[in-house]
Amino acid sequence: MGRILVGIGGGIAAYKICELISRWVQENHQVRVIVTQMAERFITPLTVSTLSRQPAYTDGDFWQATGRPLHIELGEWAEVILVAPLTADLLAKIAHGQADDLLTNTLLASTAPVLVAPAMNTTMWQKQSVQDNYQKIQSWSQFHSVGIRSGLLACDAVGPGRMAQPEEIHPWVHSLLITGGKRDLAGYKILVTAGGTREHLDPVRFLGNPATGAMGLALAQAANHRGAEVTLIHAPLGGSLPALDRVVAVTSGAEMYQAVVASFPAQDWCLMAAAVGDVQPRHYHPEKLRKKDLPDCLPLQPVPDILRALGTSKQPHQLLVGFAAQTGDITSPAWEKLQHKNLDAIVANPVDEPGAGFGSITNRGIWLDRLGQRRDWPLLPKLTLAHQILDACRDFYVSVSPPSSPSSAGG
């Protein structure tokens, strides 16, 4: 598993880091923690050392000469560094190469990707000097940011300044452990669909499926973490939305059809991970039907076929990937779907196996593409599988596209 170094800044949001440290240890990652002098006012070294099962490092350790310099050892050891909360003071030190404590010296001594999670008062965040510093480190390839959130702050101000939640930071670090911080999809425009559509009979009843959108969300997050400009079009989901470039919410298959067809021409890749229904009630009733008025036989009609429409209209520079949730033999139906709908590739996954399919945190899949290539993936966390799928997309796209790819549509 991975080696994660956490540098805790001096802000009230420091308490949120405890949940992450505990979770990473449970996932068998190695975690080491640097507690800055200001952070010790908010969280004790004993707390984080207990959670990480390792001694917590403080500036007192930095100034003790024992063997190799500690900041060199930690900087070389880390595969990913998380700095959270990133305060205005800590941001200024990083932006200007200042190194007067253990954390800032370690950052200068490391080549590992660094994820920062800013947190401060709204007025402080909006100061030009702070924004200049933030944009400066954002321009460095080593640094990545989970962004800042808006809401009620500890100082009673309302606005941007909240640190991202642990459930947002966790997948970012996961991605950086997988990619090493590469932004190999920078310049690509990628459309991802997610969730399960609902076809309403009346305001309270609908035909649907158990999809939670977890696989589509993982694809969108992974693409975003690798530098792509991501558009997510989603039906109802079972979880919270990540921060992305553009998000469009829909409910029905017809609504998703309209949103996807409108967005598709500007995209380089389209990953259709949503579970779109095949049929809908022929008649919609604007008021709730009484139980006695429910029909014994429900007339149905097909919903618009999004994949077929995209397969018909896609341009040579565009990559179109479908998904097929299957039971039993998953390969043959997927290959038939790929050919029938003019897809470039398809990912088939079983929904009748433990740990795979709808609602699970893991999944397995098979990649098939129109060149006859196949990849088999074992049961993996969905974010890990998402990166594997993106790797397959990239390799296929590069193999069939001119050297200038991504296209002009992708920037």
| pLDDT given for residue 242 in this prediction | 86
- Kindly indicate whether the domain formed by 189-410 is annotated with CATH number 3.40.50.10300: yes
Per-residue pLDDT tens over the stretch 264-304: 999 999 999 999 999 999 999 999 999 999 988 999 999 99
Mean pLDDT of the chain: 94
Q: What percent of the chain has pLDDT over 70?
A: 97
H-helix or E-strand spanning residue 137: helix 128-138
Q: Tell me the domain boundaries of the chain.
A: 3-179, 189-410
Per-residue pLDDT tens over the stretch 150-171: 888 888 888 898 999 999 999 9
In this prediction, residues 377-391 reach a mean pLDDT of: 97
Cis peptide bond N-terminal to 242, omega within 30 = no
> pTM of the full predicted structure?
0.93
- For residue 10, give the DSSP letter: S
In this prediction, residues 22-48 reach a mean pLDDT of: 96
Q: How many CB atoms lie within 10 A of CB 73?
A: 14
| pLDDT given for residue 403 in this prediction | 57
**Higher-confidence residue: 129 or 359?**
129
| pLDDT given for residue 402 in this prediction | 64
Backbone angles phi, psi at 250, to 5 degrees: -135, 175
3-state secondary structure of 5: strand
Q: Is the pLDDT confidence value at 410 over 80?
A: no
Q: Which residues contact 252 (CB under 8 A, 6 or more apart)?
A: 197, 198, 199, 200, 235, 277, 280, 303
Q: Is 155 a catalytic residue?
A: yes
Active-site annotation holder among 18, 155, 297, 393? 155
In this prediction, residues 119-139 reach a mean pLDDT of: 96
| The CATH fold of domain 3-179 | Rossmann fold (3.40.50)
Q: Which residues contact 169 (CB under 8 A, 6 or more apart)?
A: 20, 82, 84, 115, 117, 146
| pLDDT given for residue 411 in this prediction | 43
| pLDDT given for residue 243 in this prediction | 86
Which amino acid appears at position 189 of this protein?
K
Same topology for domains 3-179 and 189-410, yes or no? yes
